[in-house]
Structure 1
Amino acid sequence: MSQPIPAGTLTGRTALVTGSSRGIGADTARYLAQAGANVVINFRNKAPRAEKLANELRELGVEVLTVGADLTDPESVAAMMQAVKEQFGALDLLVLNASGGMESGMAGDYAMVLNRDAQVSVLEHALPIMPDGSRVVFVTSHQAHFIRTTPTMPEYEPVALSKRAGEDALRERIGDLTERGVGFVVVSGDMIEGTITATLLERANPGAIADRRESAGKLYNVSEFAAEVATAAVEPIPSDNTRLIGDTGSFGGE
């Protein structure tokens, strides 16, 4: 993997990436650790996978904490933040990467509970241990970010609407975050090759990924997009608090 952030840039700082035992979250955690950050790997299940990643990152010379937490359960989230406080004292970077809503067998409101309510809950539980100069990064997709003006595939619409609702709920807190000295940035990407969501969409709508790739000219893969998410942790925050990654030509205004 390339190294988007110079080694040592984040030495002494602590980053928590939600949903980071695999995929974009795992690669984001790798990039942050390469830059010197201590990392908190959050997962919902599959503890062995999280521990395998943790051992890999410890070889870089950073501290790593793995915490199993269901983000839709406030008590679970509170326990996670308490564990972070006990081990590191503070949290300098919160990457809100975990999302979902296309899983089978979930309640009808699951997408909104996870992609809106849980995102706000995690932020609220994290803020007491986030010092002046820390940052929050919210990861989303163009299909969600632009859902108010550009329709998406029916299979993805509940997820898109709930992720946009989560983004809006977090944006409402920018004033409070600014007063606390906490930066906030949204990183929005087009469909990402190799993600669980892309796999589920392809299963529900065969050819969807190829069609989008042809329309956009290029789709980022997991590690490429994760590099952009990690970079958002250190680069100046745009005036509109938004980093748009990949083609946006087929999407209308916000």
Structure 2
Amino acid sequence: MSVPDPSPASSPVLEPGSLAGKTALVTGSSRGIGADTVRYFAEAGANVVINYRNKAPRAEKLAGQLRELGVSALVVGADLTDPDSVAAMFDQVRSAFGSLDILVLNASGGMEAGMAEDYALRLNRDAQVNTLRSALPLMGDGSRVVFVTSHQAHFIRTTPTMPEYEAVALSKRAGEDALRELVPSLDERGIGFVVVSGDMIVGTVTATLLERAAPGAIESRRESAGRLYNVSEFAAEIAHAAVEPVPADNTRLIGDTSSFAGE
């Protein structure tokens, strides 16, 4: 399902109070897209879990801001590539809230310097599947899982991407494929699953690293696409994907796709 460009609006991203009594966890939510997404959930009344890997002060500062909205905000540090760390995270969620209604698999990477050769695949495929499996005992009928990816990864099988991003794109597509294999079992439990794929998002770490590796990459893509979403705009689409009806193909495409060949 393709989503049109957003129109300017001052209204809340989600209806205030619409998520009261619900609990949402967003991986990698101490900054960027994840932070804006978890904020939108809190503004709609949800209790939230802010997950971080190494940005504890930033996560705690965000939690303090969200608690002022009258919701509970749990801060949990976890390395998603470490199964024991992930298990401990969900133990804390169970203790604090008892259940989980929304899981946004936002954290990803692979372009960081100094990581092992298989790091991208471990984070973008293996860790995503393990995180979802670890969350399932807390999730029930009517809950929702959202996997965040990029057009460059979603369409990698039919449209080449920049060499600097290819390994990450392939690993993220492998993660998407592995998660999609779980959809039938999720459907049986009444758990919705949506892939949210976006074009290059201005202001993200990935876009910054790509620009550093290939100067001019952002402007080149902007000229090709006509416009690029920023962090808050893309986060709003993720928030909508967590509450709106699941598309027939479990896919929500954000931004221009005319440069990408269909699958």
Q: Which bin holds the TM-score, normalised by the shorter protein?
A: over 0.9
For structure 1, list consecutive stretches of 5 or more residues without a partner in the other structure: none
1:28 corresponds, among 37, 60, 63, to 37
- 1:63 correspondence with 2:72: yes
- Correspondence for 1:13: 22
2:239 corresponds, among 230, 234, 240, to 230
- Which residue type is aligned with residue 252 of structure 1? A
- Correspondence for 1:54: 63
Shift of 1:5: 0.7
- Correspondence for 1:74: 83
- Give 4+ residue runs of structure 1 displaced > 6 Å after superposition: none
- 1:184 correspondence with 2:200: no
Shift of 1:3: 1.9
- 1:211 correspondence with 2:220: yes
Aligned with 2:37: secondary structure? helix
- Correspondence for 2:147: 138
| Alpha-carbon distance in 1 for matches of 2:237, 2:55 | 26
| Alpha-carbon distance in 1 for matches of 2:262, 2:163 | 20
- 1:121 correspondence with 2:126: no
- Which residue type is aligned with residue 62 of structure 1? V
- Which residue type is aligned with residue 77 of structure 1? V
| Alpha-carbon distance in 2 for matches of 1:17, 1:156 | 24
Aligned with 2:89: secondary structure? helix
TM-score, L = length of structure 1 = 0.99
In the alignment of these two chains, the number of paired residues is 254
Aligned with 2:25: secondary structure? strand
Aligned with 2:185: secondary structure? helix
Shift of 1:203: 0.3
2:209 corresponds, among 194, 200, 223, to 200
Q: Deviations over 1:33-92 (max 9, x none)?
A: 011110000000121100000000001110000000000000000000000000000000
- 1:248 correspondence with 2:257: yes
Aligned with 1:56: secondary structure? helix
| Alpha-carbon distance in 2 for matches of 1:9, 1:138 | 22
- Correspondence for 1:157: 166
| Alpha-carbon distance in 2 for matches of 1:153, 1:2 | 37
RMSD (Å) for aligned C-alpha atoms: 0.7
For structure 2, list consecutive stretches of 5 or more residues without a partner in the other structure: 1-9
| Alpha-carbon distance in 2 for matches of 1:136, 1:202 | 30
| Alpha-carbon distance in 1 for matches of 2:138, 2:171 | 27
- Which residue type is aligned with residue 64 of structure 2? N
- Correspondence for 2:115: 106
CA separation of 1:2 and 1:221: change in aligned 2, threshold 3 A: farther
- Correspondence for 1:41: 50
| Alpha-carbon distance in 2 for matches of 1:156, 1:46 | 24
Identity %: 78
TM-score, L = length of structure 2 = 0.96
Shift of 1:2: 5.4
| Alpha-carbon distance in 1 for matches of 2:17, 2:43 | 8
Aligned with 2:163: secondary structure? coil
- Which residue type is aligned with residue 204 of structure 2? T
- 1:220 correspondence with 2:247: no
| Alpha-carbon distance in 1 for matches of 2:198, 2:152 | 8
Aligned with 2:224: secondary structure? helix
Q: Deviations over 1:85-123 (max 9, x none)?
A: 000000000000000000000000000000000000000
- Which residue type is aligned with residue 250 of structure 2? N
Aligned with 2:259: secondary structure? coil
Shift of 1:131: 1.4
